[in-house]
Amino acid sequence: MTAKHLHIVAFDVPCPPNYGGVIDIFFKVKALHAAGVNIHLHCFQYGRPASAQLDEICASVHYYPRKKNPSLMFSPLPFIVVSRSSEQLAQRLLADDYPVLFEGLHCCMLLDDPRFANKRKLVRTHNIEHDYYAALAKVENRFFRRRYFISESKKLAQFEQQLNKAQAVLAIARADAEQLAKRYRNVHHVPAFHPSEKLQAKPGKGDFVLYHGNLEVGENNQAALYLVNEVFNDLDIPLVIAGNKPSAELQEASARFKNISIRANIPHPEIDELIRDAQINVLPTFQATGIKLKLLAALFNGRHCIVNTPMVANTGLEKLCTICDSPAAMKNAVCEKFTSDFDPAVLSEREIVLQRDFSNAANAKKIVELI
């Protein structure tokens, strides 16, 4: 049987797998490696160091500097794309006939290159990117950053048409797959890859509620402020907010309440432990894009999970969560679940759904069939 080889072009170094996009890439590489695929990984680098761990699961690993010239902001192409261009990458991809998986529109600079016309090309979409950037603009208070997000959204809407050049588009969320299938051929739903092989919820009760996320991202900052100002503002129940780079606004708002604390810039294993120890993982979002890997982490490893509709809409995970779309409803659910034992029967239902739809091995098999 001929060995399978696959080039993967990553928008960032995917190790350590400590934020949404790179979590999907790292555990995808790991699952494909376990399935017998020889991975040739190409990483754009802009702050994260080379990783020896990647060498253990890849046939080869290459790194390319991401371009930082501010003048690229004025390119007609999206900055996230044009800043990830490399002729050295192109030459390495052209040196063989292996298929290429481009991770996100970020990495698709070569998709329309005539030299790649006969190359089998797959694209992993992590979001509907122009919708994602438009949503970032809505929650951004800094003028120039907001203008950047608006500009980037318009450029990404135009650039997305390059997906016509791909032989397969692998959407991370079912809703994204349905939307993209209206515009492009060969769209497949391949759910998120993640670190959880089995359910690990702890028995017993926790004594706090947890919200976790990368607090540097506008949508997570907005969700955390919502919990502070509108849900836990008059509750006696402890809320822990965990994540990187909390904003000054969030820190000031939290400091007004004795029951709210922030765990900033802690290692990922500590966040995993918080997820397991919490009585409730509460995860509102106001940006229904892609699928939130923090939700999968909470369902695989946590007890009660309270969300709002945008967090779970069209994910297949709706029945596994308590859904609350107003501060009052979320307050009531928090009060109820905080004193409630976690029913083991809930774990059985979770296991059926998560192992059916979010098995890394099964989803790696889908990609193997496409290459």
Please say whether the beta carbons of 126 and 80 come within 8 A: no
Pull the structure tokens for residue 350: 């979770």
Helix (H, G, I), strand (E, B) or coil at 253: helix
pLDDT tens for each residue of 299-345: 999 999 999 999 998 888 999 999 999 999 999 999 999 998 887 77
CATH topology of domain 4-195: Rossmann fold (3.40.50)
Pull the structure tokens for residue 293: 């890997």
pLDDT tens for each residue of 282-306: 999 987 766 678 899 999 999 999 9
Q: What is the pTM of this model?
A: 0.84
Residues 133, 135, 140: CA angle, nearest 5 degrees: 90
Residue-range domain boundaries for the chain: 4-195, 209-356
Which helix H or strand E contains 347, and what residues bound it?
Answer: helix 344-357
| pLDDT confidence of residue 2 | 62
Nearest-angstrom CA–CA distance, 107 and 258:
45
| Residue 99: C-alpha distances to residues 3, 165, 193, 244, 311 (Å) | 13, 13, 20, 36, 34
Pull the structure tokens for residue 178: 């349905």
Name 352's Cβ contacts closer than 8 Å, sequence gap at least 6: none
Region 209-356: CATH code? 3.40.50.2000
Is the model's pLDDT at 1 over the cut of 70? no
Please say whether the beta carbons of 9 and 101 come within 8 A: yes
Residues 153, 228, 318: CA angle, nearest 5 degrees: 65
Question: Comparing 4-195 with 209-356, is the CATH topology the same?
Answer: yes
Please say whether the beta carbons of 370 and 188 come within 8 A: yes
Which helix H or strand E contains 143, and what residues bound it?
Answer: helix 143-159
Nearest-angstrom CA–CA distance, 15 and 52:
9
pLDDT tens for each residue of 83-115: 999 999 999 999 999 999 999 999 999 999 999
